[in-house]
Amino acid sequence: MCNQTVSLAAAALEQRGITTVVLQFLKDVAIKVGPPRGLLVPFPHGFALGKPLDPAGQRDVLTQALSLLECQDLVPPHLSTYQNSTTTEKEG
């Protein structure tokens, strides 16, 4: 349910003029709900940024999320898939 709840929150924020990016676990749910700007992550529920105590891996996810915010040519709703750009092995 968290996939939907953060997406609904993002919609409310965007309505107030605030730019959002949400992480998502389940592609089918993300497509059904349609958050404005989403990044699909390849990790189990509860591990949105990957491994615990893995700052480099977590930062890589966040960096891609921030990059989505900067894209000016996206068509809403937009859904990207996280691509690991570190050498850190990921969970899931």
Interface characters, 20-49, with another protein (x: CB under 8 A): xxxxxxxxxx--xxxxx---xxxxxxxxxx
Q: How far is the CB of 88 from another protein (least distance, A)?
A: 14
* Shorter beta-carbon distance to another protein: residue 85 or 92: 92
Could you say whether residue 14 binds another protein (CB under 8 A)?
A: yes
Minimum distance of another protein from residue 44's CB (angstroms): 6
Contact 14, 20 (CB under 8 A): yes
**41: left (phi > 0), else alpha (psi -120 to 50), else beta?**
beta
Cα–Cα distance for residue pair 14/26, rounded to 1 Å: 22
How many C-beta atoms surround the C-beta of residue 91 within 10 A? 12
- Residue 56 binds to another protein (criterion: CB under 8 A): no
